[in-house]
Structure 1
Amino acid sequence: MATNQRLLLVASPLMRHAPAYDRAAALAKAKGMALHVVAFDYLEGLATASLVDEQALAVMREGYVKQHREWLETQAVPMRRIGLTVTTEVVWVQHALDEILIHLREQPFAMLIKELEHESWWMRAMFTPLDVQLLRACPVPLHFVRKANYALPRKILAAVDLSVPEDQFEGFNDQIISEALKLALQCNGQVELLYVYDLGAMYEDAEGYGEHSFFFDSSLARTLHEAQGEAFQDLAERNGIAAEHRHLRMGDPAKVLAVFAENHDIDVVVIGRYHHRGIGGFIGSTAERVLYKLPSSALVISPEHSQG
């Protein structure tokens, strides 16, 4: 573990205590890391008020930032009482993503923690929320907290994807499991392993499907099913996942994953984020689809991540 690494909690600008605070403090304690809490403020009305001169606006903005900074300090007090090193910061900035990425480039943060903001599907279709922007651009493991029944997660789900060619992201599924196992060790939790595959999509991608698209080849389907099962068992075996904690399902990955997490009281789902190009990136990856369906929190990693 890198002793100079810290956890970064991106706080809501609304000055309210959210489950992400409790999760961030608990993880910092479990990992033996310091915690930096930062809020990015920008009030449209205050920023563009036309009836007040620029000097008065600057005073008003500074007053708001000062109030928020003092509020964050009150949230840090109980964290420091349990032995954590906690620093706080408030930044007045219109585009939070740019400033977050600057923070992540300039300082050695091991993980970014943030409350998942609820956004309706039509709002997500018209605008790209900060959470989705972070999902696509964050260079460190990204922990979205939806709720935290327990400050430290007890049940952790490693969601793997064996449908992606291994030569494209070699060892990534093993990395997802490794991150889940490390988190479980730090939190004294239990890891479940899940692979959901879409047999229909695989059948479409199979060689020769275009020539026989109106006929369902049961032998091909059986071959695909058996191959996925064997690959999953091999993956679980080499990572030491006991048979009773292995779960293989068929269906739409995002939907099945959400139902599984609900039915098994999962606290955190560890899921991979792949880099998409072209229209696939515009439509959104499985991770983006899962993000707003999950009843639990999510830890999103990409192939280049290495978490402490």
Structure 2
Amino acid sequence: MSQYQQLLLIINPALRHSPAINRAAALAKASGATLHIVALIKPVETLLLLEKNIQEKVRDSYFKDHSEWLKDEAARMRVRGINVMTEVTWADDTEYEILQHVTKMQPDLLIKDVQHEPAIKRAFITPMDWHLIRECPVPVYLVGASGHTLPHKIVAAVDPSRPELQESGLNDRIIQEANSLALQCDAELHLLHAYDVSSVYLGDAGGGGLALTNLTKELRNVLEKSFLTLADHYGVPPDRRHFILGQPVSVLAEFASQHQVDVIVMGRIHRHGLEKLIGSTTEHILYQTSCSILAV
């Protein structure tokens, strides 16, 4: 049975060669899922400088151009046997429109291109992709620039060090979602945990260097045992288990680059206060790797 029944792809029709279109089409073809493509057009601000009757003509022409292009794209997909539906609409508030479509359609996945924002802008305005990771009620598949059209290698990034993730079942959902995608694409599934013992556990530790060394080893053993138990439960082969020391964002970015990872599947947690302003590991990895991120 197919892992997916309905996929929702959000595109900016002005970016006609975006990776998300090809990735979504390939996944729909492989799974037999219906692909809904929604093209959201932001109003052109320069039109306000024109007379009203000219504004309307330019708007109509702009809308018609994008609609015809998407119609042609859909026709080519149907020739390949893909069941595709399309919609083109104006969107003053893109994030709102996306979440409204998700609520209405209840897709298995929301798919869109990663929208890169400069660091200086992120310091003052929360990126739209961060908002979607935090608020979207379905898994969010953010497509990066690199990777195969249909994933060959998928990494489930889990964190057995946090009891609340074990209790909530988030690690299990990450692996299950990664496995669903891997099965649908006939891809390799890898399991990875990046552990940063010093920052998580030793910040307030006292004692000398030997005491810290012993504590680090003990913590590592406990974490590795939990990680291996999780891997055993899901039948992940030994050569696809990766328990790596280091800061999670750096470890994941380096691993993805070295091993040509197509998709990293990660969890998303509701955050508050300063943590919400700073952003999570899942949010920051968007700007550190060119592969795709599937946020569960």
TM-score range, shorter chain: over 0.9
Is there any run of 5+ residues in structure 2 with no aligned partner, and where?
A: none
Contact 2:158 2:171 in 1 (8 A): yes
Q: Which moved more, 1:75-84 or 1:2-11?
A: 2-11
Q: Distance in 2 between matches of 1:3 and 1:237?
A: 23
- 1:111, CA displacement in angstroms? 0.7
Q: Does structure 1 residue 30 correspond to structure 2 residue 30?
A: yes
- 1:56, CA displacement in angstroms? 4.1
Structure 2 counterpart of 1:140, one-letter code? V
Contact 1:174 1:239 in 2 (8 A): no
CA RMSD, 1 decimal: 2.2
Q: Which of 171, 175, 186 is the matching residue for 1:173? A: 171
**2:51: which partner in 1?**
52
Q: 1:13 to 1:128 in 2, by over 3 A?
A: farther
Contact 2:140 2:295 in 1 (8 A): yes
- 1:223, CA displacement in angstroms? 1.3
Contact 2:3 2:184 in 1 (8 A): no
Q: Does structure 1 residue 241 correspond to structure 2 residue 232?
A: no
Contact 2:147 2:292 in 1 (8 A): no
Structure 2 counterpart of 1:225, one-letter code? R
Count residues with an aligned counterpart. Answer: 295
- 1:263, CA displacement in angstroms? 0.6
Q: Does structure 1 residue 101 correspond to structure 2 residue 99?
A: yes
Q: Distance in 2 between matches of 1:245 and 1:158?
A: 10
Kindly provide the CA deviation profile for residues 276-298 of structure 1, in whole angstroms up to 9, marking residues without a partner as x: 11111111011011111123111
Q: Distance in 1 between matches of 2:291 and 2:101?
A: 27
Q: 1:39 to 1:213 in 2, by over 3 A?
A: farther
**2:250: which partner in 1?**
255
- 1:135, CA displacement in angstroms? 1.6
Q: 1:191 to 1:167 in 2, by over 3 A?
A: closer
TM-score by length of 2: 0.92
**1:225: which partner in 2?**
220
Contact 1:20 1:148 in 2 (8 A): no
Kindly provide the CA deviation profile for residues 132-169 of structure 1, in whole angstroms up to 9, marking residues without a partner as x: 22122111111111135422101111111122224674
Q: 1:25 to 1:169 in 2, by over 3 A?
A: farther
Partner of 1:292, secondary structure, is coil
Q: How does 1:153-232 map to 2 (within 5 A)?
A: 153-166=151-164, 169-204=167-202, 209=204, 212=206, 217-232=212-227
- 1:213, CA displacement in angstroms? 7.6
Q: Does structure 1 residue 43 correspond to structure 2 residue 38?
A: no
Kindly provide the CA deviation profile for residues 205-249 of structure 1, in whole angstroms up to 9, marking residues without a partner as x: 6xxx36x28866222212111111111110100110111111100
**1:82: which partner in 2?**
80
TM-score by length of 1: 0.89
Partner of 1:126, secondary structure, is coil
- 1:125, CA displacement in angstroms? 1.5
- 1:129, CA displacement in angstroms? 2.3
Partner of 1:174, secondary structure, is helix
Q: 1:267 to 1:168 in 2, by over 3 A?
A: closer
The percent identity for this pair of structures is 41
- 1:59, CA displacement in angstroms? 3.6
Structure 2 counterpart of 1:36, one-letter code? H
Structure 2 counterpart of 1:41, one-letter code? I
Q: Distance in 2 between matches of 1:279 and 1:9?
A: 32
Kindly provide the CA deviation profile for residues 75-125 of structure 1, in whole angstroms up to 9, marking residues without a partner as x: 112211111111111111211000111111111211111111222211222
Structure 2 counterpart of 1:19, one-letter code? P
Q: Distance in 1 between matches of 2:3 and 2:145?
A: 28
Is there any run of 5+ residues in structure 1 with no aligned partner, and where?
A: 302-308
Structure 2 counterpart of 1:6, one-letter code? Q
Q: Distance in 2 between matches of 1:177 and 1:15?
A: 32
Q: Distance in 1 between matches of 2:188 and 2:141?
A: 18
Runs (4+) of structure 1 exceeding 6 A deviation are: 1-4
**1:304: which partner in 2?**
none
Q: 1:188 to 1:38 in 2, by over 3 A?
A: same
- 1:203, CA displacement in angstroms? 2.1
Structure 1 counterpart of 2:39, one-letter code? A
- 1:11, CA displacement in angstroms? 0.9
Q: Which moved more, 1:282-291 or 1:59-68?
A: 59-68
